Amino acid sequence: MYPFTYTRVSGTREALAAGREGGRYIAGGTTLVDLMRESVERPGALVDISALPLHEVTVTEDGVLRIGALVRMADAAAHPDVRTAYPVISQALELSASAQLRNMATIGGNIMQRTRCTYFRDVTAPCNKREPGTGCAAREGVNRAHAILGTSDACVATHPSDVAVAFAALEANVHLLGPDGARTVPFADFLLRPGDTPRHEHALGQGELITAVEIPAHPRPLRSGYLKVRDRQSYEFALTSAAVALHIRDGVIREAKVATGGVGTVPWKLPAVEQHLIGERPSETLWTAAAEHAADGARPLAHNGFKVDLLKRTVERQLRIVGGDA
């Protein structure tokens, strides 16, 4: 661990000022502190934003759900408006981490968490994400847990968040506040694929803060849920996961929102699967046929080839769980 300064700010303006000068924001600290202990992250200045007024979950009259960036994972999962309107969000949160971590970690921090790629987290290994230009140890190394979608020659690390998969499925927007004012970024544009610059993981500018994640109003009724496949039943990142939300009216699927986790360098939206579902009536054969598209474009590595089939099966299963046996 390296020496660093730690400042607690009480207001947004103060936070932005500190951020502009290169301070790293910290809230729950459940990822950043671990990485600092391993010297993977070496921020010189930490700015604790826990006291900022970003702790609210609100719903507007037209049904837009807004989760403040500092809402704890546990609180977001338990919030009645989240639970009733978006089981997929509650389930994704409750299948994440451990109870202790969910009590500390925040929604903003969750989507900012860094990959679990073991080479990234081991400072003695080459890693383009940690030290650009050193190479990717995972491509030819042990890569059972790595991504099959959205990868590049430079990086094959997955984004580890579960709730981000639900946000991607639901086409959330990320509200940001920076030195130049507030802006909103669609979730799909917020987290970046690695390309040639795996170090750049998100759309945040220098000193910019996440203030909230907003779920746009979706037509009702909306059935939704999250399935996470992993070796251990708790406290493990996903091998594969699927977030599914379906709006079914008069026996026909009118809207379908599907994304997967554990397989992509970012939460992976599946428009081909969605398109296959829309306008159709729920059936076993529909789920199977739609899920066939789940791994389109997959580029498996030496040890994660099983994820291609597993991903399709995960999506198929979750379509059936959410959409019913019909």
Partner 1 sequence: MTPQPQAAVGAPLTRVDARLKVTGQARYAADFDADGLVHAVVVDSGIGLGRITSVDTAAALALPGVLTVLTHLNAPRLPYGPNPGMATPPGERLHVLEDDRVRFHGQPVAVVVATTLETARHAARLVRVEYDAEPPSTDLSTATDDTPVTYERGDAERALRSADVRLELTYRTARQHHNAMEPHATVARWDDGRLTVWQKTQWIHGAQSELAAVFGLPEDAVRVVSPFVGGAFGNASRIWPQGVMASLAAREVGRPVKLVLSRRQLYFGTGYRPGYEYQVRLGSDGQGRLTAMTHVMRAETSRYETFQDDILSIGQMLYDVPAVTQDWRTVPLDVSTPTFMRGPGGATAAYAVESAMDELACELGLDPIELRLRNEPDRDPTSGLPFSTRRLRQCYATGARAFGWHPRDPKPRSTRDGDWLIGTGMATGAHPSWSVTSLAHVRLDADGTAVVQSATSDMGPGTYTVMTQVAADALGLPVSAVRFELGDSTMPPPVGHGGSMTTPSVGSAVQDGCAKLRREAVELAVKDEESPLFGAAADDVVVADGRLYVRDEPARGETYRSLLARSGRDRLEADGEYVPAGLPFSTHSYSVTFAEVAVDARLGLVRVRRMLGVYDVGRVINPKLAVSQAIGGMIGGIGQALLEHTVTDHRDGRIVNANLADYLVPVNADIPDLKAIYLEGEDDKVARIGAKGLGEVVHVGVAPALANAVFHATGRRIRELPITADALL
Binding footprint of partner 1 on the chain (CB under 8 A): 1-3, 38-39, 116, 118-119, 121-122, 124-125, 137, 140-142, 144-145, 229, 231-237, 239, 306, 309-310, 313-314, 317
CA contacts within 13 A on the Cβ side of 149: 23
Question: What contacts 79, CB < 8 A, 6 or more positions away?
Answer: 57, 71
At closest approach, how far in Å is the CB of 33 from partner 1?
14
CA angle 144, 30, 4 (to 5 degrees): 115
At closest approach, how far in Å is the CB of 124 from partner 1?
3
Query: 48 vs 316, which CB is nearer to partner 1?
Result: 316
- How far apart (Å, rounded) are the C-alpha atoms in residues 147 and 101? 24
The neighbouring-strand residues paired with 106 are 72
Query: 153 vs 309, which CB is nearer to partner 1?
Result: 309
- At residue 212, the 3 state secondary structure works out as strand
At closest approach, how far in Å is the CB of 229 from partner 1?
5
Query: 144 vs 183, which CB is nearer to partner 1?
Result: 144
Query: 50 vs 118, which CB is nearer to partner 1?
Result: 118
- How far apart (Å, rounded) are the C-alpha atoms in residues 1 and 41? 9
- How far apart (Å, rounded) are the C-alpha atoms in residues 226 and 258? 10
At closest approach, how far in Å is the CB of 282 from partner 1?
18
76: exposed, middle or buried (C-beta count within 10 Å: 0-12, 13-18, 19+)? buried
At closest approach, how far in Å is the CB of 143 from partner 1?
10
At closest approach, how far in Å is the CB of 190 from partner 1?
25
192: exposed, middle or buried (C-beta count within 10 Å: 0-12, 13-18, 19+)? middle
CA dist list (Å): 100 to 74, 97, 103: 9, 8, 5
- What is the residue type of 53? P
Query: 137 vs 155, which CB is nearer to partner 1?
Result: 137
At closest approach, how far in Å is the CB of 256 from partner 1?
21
Query: 220 vs 232, which CB is nearer to partner 1?
Result: 232
Query: 55 vs 116, which CB is nearer to partner 1?
Result: 116
At closest approach, how far in Å is the CB of 137 from partner 1?
8
- How far apart (Å, rounded) are the C-alpha atoms in residues 95 and 235? 8
- How far apart (Å, rounded) are the C-alpha atoms in residues 44 and 65? 35
At closest approach, how far in Å is the CB of 101 from partner 1?
11
Query: 136 vs 212, which CB is nearer to partner 1?
Result: 136
User: Which of 216, 257, 262 shows the shortest CA–CA distance to 237?
Assistant: 262
Query: 120 vs 187, which CB is nearer to partner 1?
Result: 120
- Report residue 25 as tokens: 């924001």
